[in-house]
Amino acid sequence: MLDGRHLTMGIETSCDETAIAILADGREVLSNVISSQIDIHKNFGGVVPEIASRHHLENINGVLDEALAEAKVTIDDIDLIGVAYGPGLVGSLLIGVATAKAISFAKDIPLVGVNHMHGHIAANYIEFKDLEPPFLGLIVSGGHTNIVMVNDYDSCEVLGSTRDDAIGEAYDKVARVIGLGYPGGPKIDELAKKGNKTAINFKRVYLEKGCLDFSFSGTKTGVLNHVNRAKQKGDDINTADIAASFQEAVLEVIVNKAISAAKMLNQDALVVAGGVAANSRLNDMLSERCKEEGIKLYKPSPILCTDNGAMIGCAAYYKMKKGEISDLSLDAYPGLEI
């Protein structure tokens, strides 16, 4: 407690960001420290799990000290510890979970295990103070692409999922094919601004009529084939046009399916979450379509879209309010479902 306010610490280590945040009363961010390992993993073209967990271990105490100092609190002021326990890389998750359990045990602070994907959705509660479930959600991240009905702070019904690659994964793979390196999403986002989005007509995959599932591997293979053909013919490869055209193809499908879901379910709001929600073209397309259709669009600012501790702290706060406290048997669960 600080000045009568409830303080939550949120810990996130599911992939390659070591992140800890302190929140007051669940939704106000006092600090949000994110130590990214991008510079290390980019040398390998992607996240190397063993290296990621080792770096989490090296970084986490420093990130913890910084989060407390920035929030101008001490560990004794903390009322609740939330930690992402899945889905993610097992070795990475374990560092966050072990840290959270150690603090909880040593300082006798309640502990809450949080589903990382519920955390992504919760980023919107931080950004939009009046937002409350139920609402229609669109999750677009490195490991997930889902249309969901968010029924409560800690429960969602999945209406659509990807049948192959997640959207962020497709971005990262296409970036590698056109030589942009890791992480591909933000690089394609930037490069696409200089390209022509109608230059190449990559496949838009809608699957069966009315279906809310996704499939991106065909479009990704289309990019690979386009690049290989150009190389064989000795043609110049315009990476900006490829980036813009690929992005247009996959985002068009995502936006159309999200809008159809809103219409099918009679929803007048759409809440977007996950790393790819930071994409500028997705933002423009969704803003335009939602405006046309009279749907209110919620989307966190980019720093809250990608992995961070604040979203985990917020989700933990609402689980605690429902009495869902974890005990020290909490373990990493890499395959945890939404």
Question: Is residue 184 involved in binding ligand KG4 (CB under 6 A)?
Answer: yes
Q: What is the distance between the alpha carbons of residues 20 and 186, in angstroms, rounded to a whole number?
A: 23
Phi, psi (deg, nearest 5) at residue 196: -100, 115
Range in contact with Zn ion (rule: CB under 5 A) among 41-49, 158-166, 252-260, 300-308 = 300-308
What is the token pair recorded at 180? 């942009």
Which of 59, 145, 306, 326 lies at the binding interface for ligand KG4 (CB under 6 A)?
Answer: 306
Q: Pick the closest to residue 39 from 11, 10, 69, 59 (CA basis).
A: 59
Q: Which of 12, 13, 9 is nearest to 21 (CA)?
A: 9
Query: Can residue 267 be called a binding residue for ligand KG4 (CB under 6 A)?
Result: no
Burial 118-141 (b: 16+ CB within 10 A, else e): bbbbbbbbbbeeebebebbbbbbb
Tokens coding 265? 């379910």
16 binds Zn ion (CB under 5 A): no
Choosing from 91, 274, 300, 313, the residue that interacts with ligand KG4 (CB under 6 A) is 274
Residue 185 binds ligand KG4, judged by CB under 6 A: yes
Please state, in angstroms and rounded to a whole number, the distance separating the CA atoms of residues 31 and 71: 5
Task: Say which entry of Zn ion, ligand KG4, none residue 99 contacts (CB below 5 to 8 A, set by partner kind).
Answer: none
| Residue 119 found at the interface with ligand KG4 (CB under 6 A) | no
307 binds ligand KG4 (CB under 6 A): yes
Q: Is 307 in the site for Zn ion (CB under 5 A)?
A: yes
Query: Given the complex with ligand KG4, which of 142 and 313 has the nearer CB atom?
Result: 142
Residues 214 to 243: which contact ligand KG4 by CB under 6 A? none
Stretch that binds Zn ion, among 199-207, 288-296, 305-313, 329-337 (CB under 5 A): 305-313
Judged by CB under 6 A, does residue 183 bind ligand KG4?
Answer: yes
189 binds ligand KG4 (CB under 6 A): yes
Q: Which residue, 53 or 141, is less far from Zn ion as judged by CB?
A: 141
If one asks whether residue 317 binds ligand KG4 (CB under 6 A), the answer comes out as no
Interface ranges with Zn ion (CB under 5 A): 141, 307
Interface ranges with ligand KG4 (CB under 6 A): 15, 120, 141-143, 168, 171-172, 183-186, 189, 274-276, 278-279, 306-307
